């Protein structure tokens, strides 16, 4: 399998605190790879190491087959980067930023730049300092895609954007992958965004990888079932089911969430003799929470990025190490 990103025991510490702790990661080429985790998990640190903004303490990382320790590698001309708060020259106009991009990147595509610029309804004469955050993110995306990247790194780019802009942003990303085969590595708080776009999900926790799975594998591993009984539900027996994560009782009906393959779960359910078993739909957020609980991570102890941008201390600052 061709890999666009690979890390091997990659580590980085700040003031003695490990932000990334011997991280092993493999991102298939041509995929939209979603990265999630709590604030302070190390997501921004990882992306900044991949871009070469900061250097690892130990271990190794590769982008498009080249070591991230190589400062002047030509392969970086094929890597686009959009941070959560784009840094651009505030006195420049949008058009001047594009002309700067053309000078910096040898594969700059003016036709692609104009196409994206028009699609995002940006004004060439506006100065960067006068743009909203959402407009700055759109300018940064135009520039990242106009260089015709083989790899696109996105660090919380849609956080705080309105739904219309966010949808247009995601649609552009999906079209880029479909049309150009670009690999997208995408850190996001918003699980519904990832559910619409990503085909692979990984979770960071305290600098370590908890799991990395395709979206299909993740969906196949968690199930929510509604059991209807003729009489009083056998509550103790339901709680003893292998893989049980949570349950709720309402009269003769029990709604349960279990992990594992459905074909291995069904024999145990049959022994309970329910009148009816119905599988209910689960969104990615519910699947993620259930999976984390099944792995023994108590989500109430720390604020996970599930529909929220705030950390445990109520701060919206991303990653304590920055």
CATH of the domain at 20: 3.40.50.300
Which tens digit of pLDDT belongs to each residue from 246-257?
899 999 999 999
Measured distance CA(222)–CA(260) in Å, rounded: 6
Prediction pTM value = 0.83
Query: Cα 289 to chain center, whole Å?
Result: 15
- Last residue in a domain, options 215, 247, 264: 215
Shared domain check, 165 and 143: yes
Shared domain check, 208 and 148: yes
Shared domain check, 206 and 71: yes
Domain that holds residue 240: 218-301
To which residue do tokens 């022994």 refer? 271
Which tens digit of pLDDT belongs to each residue from 105-139?
999 999 999 999 998 889 999 999 999 988 999 99
Which tens digit of pLDDT belongs to each residue from 151-197?
999 998 887 678 888 888 889 889 888 888 999 999 987 888 888 88
Domain count along the chain: 2
Shared domain check, 35 and 115: yes
Shared domain check, 233 and 106: no
Shared domain check, 222 and 210: no
Query: Cα 122 to chain center, whole Å?
Result: 27
Looking at the domain assignment, is residue 191 inside a domain?
yes
Q: Residue 65 phi/psi, 5° resolution?
A: 85, 0
139 neighbors 128 (Cβ within 8 angstroms): yes
Looking at the domain assignment, is residue 115 inside a domain?
yes
User: What per-residue confidence (pLDDT) applies to 299?
Assistant: 56
Looking at the domain assignment, is residue 313 inside a domain?
no
User: What per-residue confidence (pLDDT) applies to 237?
Assistant: 93
In the chain, the N- to C-terminal Cα span, in Å, equals 34
Q: Residue 58: pLDDT band by 50, 70, 90 thresholds?
A: very high
Shared domain check, 158 and 76: yes
- Last residue in a domain, options 215, 249, 271: 215
Shared domain check, 187 and 45: yes
Measured distance CA(177)–CA(173) in Å, rounded: 6
> Among 107, 110, 89, which Cα is nearest to 99's?
110
Strands, E assignment, 115-243? 151-155, 183-187, 200-205, 208-214, 222-228
Looking at the domain assignment, is residue 308 inside a domain?
no
Shared domain check, 206 and 157: yes
Measured distance CA(287)–CA(180) in Å, rounded: 31
Strand partners, 111: none
Looking at the domain assignment, is residue 30 inside a domain?
yes
């Amino acid at each position: 399998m061709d890999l666009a990103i690979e890390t091997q025991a990659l580590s980085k510490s700040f003031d003695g605190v490990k932000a990334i702790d011997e991280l092993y990661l493999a991102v298939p080429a041509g995929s939209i790879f979603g990265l999630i985790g709590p604030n302070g998990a190390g997501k921004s640190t990882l992306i900044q190491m991949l871009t070469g903004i900061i250097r690892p303490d130990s271990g190794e990382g590769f982008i498009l087959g080249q070591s991230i320790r190589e400062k002047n590698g030509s392969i970086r001309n094929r890597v686009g980067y959009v941070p959560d708060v784009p840094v651009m020259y505030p006195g420049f106009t949008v058009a001047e930023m594009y002309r700067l991009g053309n000078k910096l990147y040898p594969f700059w595509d003016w036709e692609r730049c104009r196409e994206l610029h028009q699609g995002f309804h940006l004004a060439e004469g506006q100065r960067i300092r006068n743009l909203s955050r959402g407009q700055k993110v759109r300018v940064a995306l135009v520039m990242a895609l106009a260089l015709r990247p083989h790899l696109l790194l996105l660090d919380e780019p849609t956080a705080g954007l309105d739904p219309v802009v966010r949808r247009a942003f995601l649609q552009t990303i999906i079209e880029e992958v479909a049309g150009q085969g670009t690999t997208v590595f995408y850190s996001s708080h918003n699980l519904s965004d990832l559910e619409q776009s990503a085909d692979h999900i990984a979770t960071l926790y305290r600098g370590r990888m908890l799991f990395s799975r395709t979206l299909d594998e993740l969906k196949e591993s968690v199930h929510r079932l509604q059991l209807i009984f003729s009489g009083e539900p056998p509550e103790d027996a339901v709680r003893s089911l292998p893989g049980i994560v949570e349950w709720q009782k309402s009269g003769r009906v029990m709604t349960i969430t279990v992990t594992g393959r459905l074909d291995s779960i069904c024999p145990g359910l049959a022994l309970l003799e329910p009148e009816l078993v119905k599988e209910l739909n689960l969104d990615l957020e519910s699947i993620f929470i259930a999976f984390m609980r099944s792995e023994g991570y108590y989500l109430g102890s720390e604020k996970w990025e599930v529909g929220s941008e705030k950390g445990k201390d109520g701060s919206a600052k991303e990653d304590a190490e920055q």
